[in-house]
Amino acid sequence: MAGVAVAGLGAVGVSGCSTGPSEETITAERLVPLVRSALADEKSARSLAGAEPRYAAALAVVADQRAEHARALREEIIRLDQDVATTVDEPGPSTTPTPAEPPTLVGLRAGLEQSSGEARDVAISLPGYPAGLAGSVAAAVTSMREVQLA
């Protein structure tokens, strides 16, 4: 009888552990918006390169670096949780379809400022390597805005 009681308690303990997402899943989910921002910034920078010849070289650097940020963040998401990684290319929950306006340099600068702040906030909230990755992205994006596109 005592053996049955112990076995029953073990089953309760195991089922009690699976009440929510894992830390890896939560961390991966926090990185998804950073990938989406990086891809949007890359697209804007590439679109602007022809329209802003004075900034063409700087815009190419911004586009290439933001593409690299998206790649590095996506790899970390895959490492943390492959199921979350499949959601990266889906539109975000707050994304509402709006008529596409052509990108502007002012708009790209504002987007980079928003991306940097978002990455900074994520970096502050995460532990370990993902925090360092998000912090590096935040610093790089700030540099792009303040130096490359000055």
- Round to whole Å and give the CA distance between 51 and 56: 8
Is residue 60 domain-resident? yes
For 33-72, what is each residue's pLDDT tens digit?
A: 999 999 999 999 999 998 999 999 999 999 999 999 999 9
Note down the domain range covering 123. 23-88+103-148
Instruction: Give Cβ neighbours of residue 66 (< 8 Å, ≥ 6 apart).
Output: 38, 39, 41, 42, 45, 141, 144
Q: What is the residue whose two structure tokens read 């890359």?
A: 42
Is residue 120 domain-resident? yes
Is residue 12 domain-resident? no
Is residue 138 domain-resident? yes
8 Å CB contact between 60 and 147: no
Domain with residue 67: its CATH number is 1.20.1260
For 86-117, what is each residue's pLDDT tens digit?
A: 999 877 665 444 556 788 999 999 999 999 99
Is residue 48 domain-resident? yes
Is residue 79 domain-resident? yes
Query: Residue 128: left if φ>0, alpha if ψ -120 to 50, beta else—which one?
Result: left
